[in-house]
Amino acid sequence: MNTMKWLLRREFWENKGGFVWAPLIAAAIMVVLVGAVVGYGIASGKLATDNISIRVEGEEVHNTSVAKVVSIESRAQMASVAANNYIAVGAPIFFVLPIVAFFYCLAALYDDRRDRSILFWKSLPISDAETVLSKLVTVLVVAPLITIGVATAAALAILFFAGIATSYHGVSLFGAVLTNVNFYLAPFYLVGMLPVYVLWALPTAGWLLLVSSWARSKVFLWAVGVPLMAAVLLKWLDYLLAMTGGVTIHADWVINNVLEAILLGLIPGTWFMNAGGELPLPTRNGVDMMTMLQYSWSTLGKPALWAGVVAGVAMIAGAIRLRRWRDEG
């Protein structure tokens, strides 16, 4: 256990730029932009509370304020939507995660062989299984937790600016938002989805680590090019079989269920892509995060998930064995 802790620390410090600074920079850009817009609106008077023009029953009413127009019920609903869904504002930060995780997995085992540092690590009393598993835990657990923390902080900052903007209009939502229990539970809903993410991402992580431990060069081309070439060949073969009136191999099913699993699994929320009518719809109070969490865990009953988990475990085992025996000399 102590060895694994130090291996995780090694991975964190060697890849802090991707796992920490990349989401932090994205978050900073978002917060600065929103803050600048709100600040400009206040400074220029464009958020003035008594300079609103509205139309009621065809007649235009000038010089009113939002505070006079928004009812108590509307304020409560606005606060509920904000408390339930403010965490969604940090969604752009989660798009950074799969990019960083993808290239991290590609380089995780390949770089050790390329710069020959693998000889140093093999001289230590650290097994190949521990090394590979530390990289797997880093990309599937540590990196998402860091992203959740950064996205939550950014969403809170943006929510604060939005609260300032509405307060400047005379509609203060701070009290209603801060007394809503979902405001505090939102980050924990995301953490609750992490085990589901780990299982869905396992095939992609396994495939990338396998290629990283095997390829002598051009790791990206092997990891992405082989599945894409396989997809093209399957579609071509399916087309030829359909022309001859034979039984097709259902290339679209293979592409959707196999190739997507090994290339897109690191994207958070991939289990929502093929939800169809099962996906919970937004209500007047926005998206219910508890319902989304329940749906996420319900996907554990899908056979495709466990088939991917078995394949992912097999590929990780292959990566461990290849790291043990691969000779770049």
Q: What is the pLDDT of residues 285-315, one digit of tens each?
A: 667 788 889 989 999 989 989 999 999 999 9
Chain length of the chain? 329
Whether residue 64 has pLDDT greater than 60? no
The answer to whether residue 319 scores a pLDDT higher than 80 is yes
pLDDT digits (tens, 9 = 90+) for 17-60: 889 999 999 999 999 999 998 888 777 766 555 555 545 455 55
Q: What span, in angstroms and rounded, lies between the C-alpha atoms of 169 and 283?
A: 26
The alpha carbon of residue 249 and the mean position of all alpha carbons in its chain are separated, in whole angstroms, by: 32
Enter the pTM of the model: 0.85
Residue 92 three-state SS: helix
What's 108-145 look like in SS3? HCHHHHHCCCHHHHHCCCCCHHHHHHHHHHHHHHHHHH
Average pLDDT over residues 236-258: 76
Quickly state the pLDDT bin for 194 (edges 50, 70, 90): very high
- Is the model's pLDDT at 67 over the cut of 70? no
Q: Is the pLDDT of residue 190 over 90?
A: yes
Helices (H), ranges, the chain: 2-14, 16, 22-44, 66-69, 72-85, 91-94, 96-108, 110-114, 118-122, 128-137, 143-168, 174-178, 181-192, 194-214, 219-220, 226-243, 251-254, 260-263, 289-298, 303-325
pLDDT at residue 260, as a whole number: 84
Average pLDDT over residues 105-126: 74
Q: What is the mean pLDDT of the chain?
A: 83
- For 314-327, what is the mean pLDDT? 83
Residues 6+ apart with CB under 8 A from 199: 300, 305, 308, 309
